[in-house]
Structure 1
Amino acid sequence: MTGIAAPAPVFTAPDLSDEALAAATAEIAATAAEFDASGELPWPGLRAAHRAGLLTAAVGRQFGGPGAGPLDVVRILAAIGEGDASVGLLAANLLLTHAAQAAHPSWPAAAYEDLLRRSADGPALANAVRAEPELGAPARGGLPRTRATRTAGGWVLNGHKAYATGGAGLAYHVVWAVADEPGGDPVHPRVGHVIVPGDRPGITWLDTWNHLGLRASNTHDVVYRDVEVPADAFVEIPRGADGVYRDPAAATGPGGFGHAALYLGVARAARSAFAAFARERVPAALGRPIAQTERIQAVAGEIDLQIVQAETLLFGTLRRLEAGETAILPQLSAIKVAIGRSVVAATQAAVAALGNPGLSRHHPLERHLRDALCVRVHPPQEDAVLLASGRRVLGV
């Protein structure tokens, strides 16, 4: 019959046992090197994550999803990141979108229902598109040049964004913009996100992504020219109690460890690659695998120490938050930075110990190091975190 809406999809909870996550990691990893080399979107890895139910795990129960909490989300992202960091980044952006919608529903109902319907059939990506060529990262302050202009029937979006992860593969863009509307305050305009379907006319992609790491993430520039969206597509970001707008990404919140988790997965992959090489490498002068030498054993211990430290910080922090411990809230950004430092230290130790093989594109360690270094770009960045922490400690 026509005129009857299709029932909303129901997403069953994925198997998050260690064995099931390890199987998903292995399947995702099988094509990671190929897509790192080509720079194309890693659809095979995304489809593997989708089949395992990992991409929809954070869909809220009110929307027919499993409603996975922060602990399960970071376990999922660590497993995906261990397989392929680019798939991990795309998955992190999507899962955090679903988690935010579950906690504070703000999307237009029709748009989110459409995203869920697409998600029932395959990977349907969504991401916040926020940075701009002139402004840089919004967490540094300032307002976007991108404008949503009010019309009689909705909004018209115009602007140029940078580092829009997902590229043309995005089903939905969540575009950071300023409202240009009748009666608006020209000094303190409304700021928000515009929910834009990826196939809307007026969207042009610029293939600018030529990065050290995360090469398959398609983090290109995108231009919006007179993109029309309905009236409910603009979702305002609330101001503080003092009436001042502050970007939410300027500090890490309780749900802000998804990106850190995927890079923890990268460090785990580096540890595995290092161990495999050490067991297989038999120099003629040594006559036995280098894994049997104390030097390599000590390096393996250092790598493991850094990963244990990152895991303890990540999972321990989330368990403290889960228990209702609020005293840790001001330290979340510093904890995120510390996790990133451990991730980089673990991968650098592995590469440094192996010399040329560790830097060769014939060996996965080179890719893991390139991907791990990208942990530093996610806001809030280290210098801003240290400054804020120092001011808090000193009472300045």
Structure 2
Amino acid sequence: MDIFETFIKSDDQRLLVEKAKRIAEKVKNRVEIAEETAAFPVDNLQDLKAENYLSLTLPKNYGGEDLSLYDFLLVQERLAVGDGATALSVGWHLGIIKELSEGQLWADSIFDSFAKEVASKQLLVNRIATEPATGSPTRGGIPETTAKRDGKQYVINGRKTFATMASVLDFYIVTTYVEDKEAVGAFLIAKGTPGVRVKHTWNTLGMRGTGSDDVILENVIVPEDSLVEVNRKGKKPTAKGWLLHIPACYIGIAIAARNDAIDFAKKFQPNSLKTPISEVPHIQQKIGEMDLKLMHARYFMYSIADKWDRNPDMREQLGMELAAVKTVVTNSANEVVDLAMRIVGGRGLSKDYRFEQYYRDVRAGLHNPPMDDMVISMLAKHALQ
């Protein structure tokens, strides 16, 4: 049975997965270009737009598909089999759209206009939060990017790093320290706004195709209603189910490595053997271990997603389980890719195969939030209460 059939429960879900598969087959062919340029391929974006992928998590009244968390993970996992960098990138967009619509974080008038434009024009947005001095926003650092009020406008200055898809975004949701509010806030800024520029700085080992460059803001003037969020002191963090798009992406990469390793094992027959290496016991052992790890990780991930969808009133109690899913799944994904590399042997390091890319890309998951140490500390404190 196809490994993806395990968690498909309806015809609608099958159609969604088929959509993701169609896109995956196309973006897969541009991985080499993305690796060379360390940029998000524009043609990948066109493929996503052609399938109306960018509005999947919008409510139906705006022209979206209103995907549940479970369905969101299904499509993201399948897309990542084609290219993890593309899946992770668009996952941020879709997750943010889902959070904004479900959490009603913005004024209705602003979100209505924004959502309609996203659906009709298939526009792309991402949060731009990380900075050189503060590191990951999840660590609690105050942004050095500032917003100073000037009459009915704000003037924004700062520099953001790890701005995924920076060069192709239509909107930036920029976190700043808002001086007159004495609080951290977020501004919705359109591409092309004077003073906003992207500097190509992305040069990493893995996930090169996310194009996570720096965004520099120099005396950017925006109207006061561009301030769409203000984080008041003492506000308790909320559980964010949509962040499960991160482990879904990395387990998709692991599935791709698993599939390629099995295909290699079935075809490769050294002259020292009378059969392909798929008949060798220690190779079968590694294949079995890969599937056991995938089964464990995927059942955990999808069970928590299903719990999130079925019990809206319990969502704020799922923070610990959501964090645990990320840790378990991303670590399992790394282990699966490592096993795939061991099956293939030295050829896994060759640029003629994708194994070395899977190996580099999957490690990035260890550095996406929440970090392992924070999750383990949270679990320990809960156990000791």
Task: Give the structure 2 partner of residue 313 of structure 1.
Answer: 300
**As a proportion of its length, which structure holds more helix?**
2
Please state how far the C-alpha of 1:97 moved relative to its aligned partner: 1.8
Q: 1:6-45, aligned counterparts within 5 Å?
A: 16-45=15-44
Task: Write out per-residue CA displacement over residues 298-330 of structure 1, whole angstroms, 9 at most, x where no aligned residue.
Answer: 111111111111211111111122232565443
Task: Select 2:245's aligned residue among 258, 270, 281.
Answer: 258
SS at match of 2:170: strand
Task: Give the structure 1 partner of residue 328 of structure 2.
Answer: 338
In the alignment, structure 1 residue 197 sits paired with structure 2 residue 197: no
In the alignment, structure 1 residue 216 sits paired with structure 2 residue 204: no
Task: Give the structure 2 partner of residue 8 of structure 1.
Answer: none
RMSD: 2.2
Task: Select 1:297's aligned residue among 284, 300, 307.
Answer: 284
Q: Count the aligned residue pairs.
A: 370
- The answer for unaligned runs of 5 or more in structure 1 is 1-12
Q: TM-score, normalised by structure 2?
A: 0.89
The amino acid that maps onto 1:292 is: E
Return the alpha-carbon distance in structure 1 between the equivalents of residues 119 and 34 of structure 2: 22
The amino acid that maps onto 1:335 is: V
Please state how far the C-alpha of 1:87 moved relative to its aligned partner: 0.8
Q: Answer whether contact 2:163 2:215 (CA < 8 A) is retained.
A: yes
In the alignment, structure 1 residue 160 sits paired with structure 2 residue 145: no
Task: Select 1:379's aligned residue among 366, 369, 375.
Answer: 369
Q: 1:333 to 1:211 in 2, by over 3 A?
A: same
Task: Give the structure 2 partner of residue 48 of structure 1.
Answer: 47
Q: 1:230-245, aligned counterparts within 5 Å?
A: 230-239=223-232, 243-244=233-234
Q: Answer whether contact 1:252 1:380 (CA < 8 A) is retained.
A: no
Q: Answer whether contact 1:77 1:261 (CA < 8 A) is retained.
A: yes
Q: Answer whether contact 2:17 2:75 (CA < 8 A) is retained.
A: no
Return the alpha-carbon distance in structure 2 between the equivalents of residues 195 and 112 of structure 1: 14
Please state how far the C-alpha of 1:112 moved relative to its aligned partner: 6.3
Q: 1:161-180, aligned counterparts within 5 Å?
A: 161-180=160-179
Task: Give the structure 2 partner of residue 76 of structure 1.
Answer: 75
Task: Select 1:355's aligned residue among 342, 345, 351.
Answer: 345
Please state how far the C-alpha of 1:143 moved relative to its aligned partner: 0.8
The amino acid that maps onto 2:339 is: A
Percent identical: 25
Please state how far the C-alpha of 1:167 moved relative to its aligned partner: 1.7
Please state how far the C-alpha of 1:358 moved relative to its aligned partner: 1.0
Q: TM-score, normalised by structure 1?
A: 0.87
Please state how far the C-alpha of 1:110 moved relative to its aligned partner: 5.6
Task: Give the structure 1 partner of residue 272 of structure 2.
Answer: 285
Please state how far the C-alpha of 1:15 moved relative to its aligned partner: 6.9
Return the alpha-carbon distance in structure 1 between the equivalents of residues 43 and 32 of structure 2: 12
Please state how far the C-alpha of 1:104 moved relative to its aligned partner: 2.9
Runs of 4+ in 1 over 6 A off after TM superposition: none
SS at match of 2:205: coil
In the alignment, structure 1 residue 130 sits paired with structure 2 residue 129: yes
Task: Give the structure 2 partner of residue 117 of structure 1.
Answer: 117
Q: Answer whether contact 2:23 2:48 (CA < 8 A) is retained.
A: yes
